[in-house]
Amino acid sequence: MTAKQDFVAQRERMVVEQIEGRGVKDTAVLQAMRSVPRELFVPEAYKQHAYDDSPLPIPAQQTISQPYVVALMISALKLKPKARVLEIGTGSGYAAALLSRIVEEVHTVERIPELVDYARHRLQLLNYTNVTVHLADGTRGLPQYAPYDGIVVAAGGPQVPTALQAQLRVGGRLVIPVGEIERRQQLVCVMRLTEKDYERRELGAVAFVPLIGDEGW
């Protein structure tokens, strides 16, 4: 078996055991996770661990999230193919790559220039042309492209940023880790019901790097 074939087999096992096996049934999410090569988004030293059931280090002292948590967050958005999605915290670019296989338009925001370059390079290698990586304060969102059908935040904040809620389309969903202690959060899904009303539910305990910015830490 070649190295490429081995990664394909590991990817399939990851989906079956870590994702489907834990209850994620969204067929678009499962298909995306079968198609996106996670090994391209981790540093060379960690390639052999690309499909482990855990987060992994990436440059700038950040991490690529556990595959199950990424799948859970994306599936909670309940996305349609024509959707426009905003991701806060590009990191490696892996989640943005997954989103690009599910929806028509993805905007992803990263505050660390090194990771902007890291993610852009990998997305370009894969020719995922419906993703735009922006260098900015993610807690402010990107109002120039709003409204969004889904917003996903890959860092934990002390509260749900009001700027992000305001950029949701009515009927859209925002998924974000929230907690008053850094790296100990509840994963929260906020749905915009009307121009003024939102519904909030908790999806479980998680541990993310801190959300840095005007409406973060």
Closest Cα partner for 123 from 112, 139, 134? 134
Residue 16 near residue 30, CB atoms below 8 Å: no
DSSP letter for 151, please.
E
| Predicted local confidence at residue 80, as pLDDT | 97
| Distance in angstroms (rounded) separating the CA atoms of residues 2 and 11 | 14
Span 137-157, mean pLDDT?
A: 96
Each residue of 86-115: pLDDT tens digit? 999 999 999 999 999 999 999 999 999 999
- Determine the 3-state secondary structure of 136 from DSSP: coil
Smallest Cα–Cα separation from 115: which of 87, 142, 143? 87
pLDDT over 70 (residue 212): yes
Active-site residues, by number, are 65
CATH fold for the domain made of 54-206:
Rossmann fold (3.40.50)
Residue written as token pair 């939102």: 198
DSSP state at residue 11: H
Q: Residue 57 is which amino acid?
A: P
pLDDT band at 181 (very low <50, low <70, confident <90, very high): confident
- 184-205, pLDDT tens digit by residue? 899 999 999 999 999 999 999 9
In this predicted structure, the answer to whether residue 5 has a pLDDT above a threshold of 80 is: no
33-57 pLDDT per residue, tens: 999 999 999 999 999 999 999 999 9
* Tokens 């940023």, located at residue: 161
Q: Output the pTM of the full model.
A: 0.94
Please, which pLDDT band fits residue 216 given cuts at 50, 70 and 90?
confident
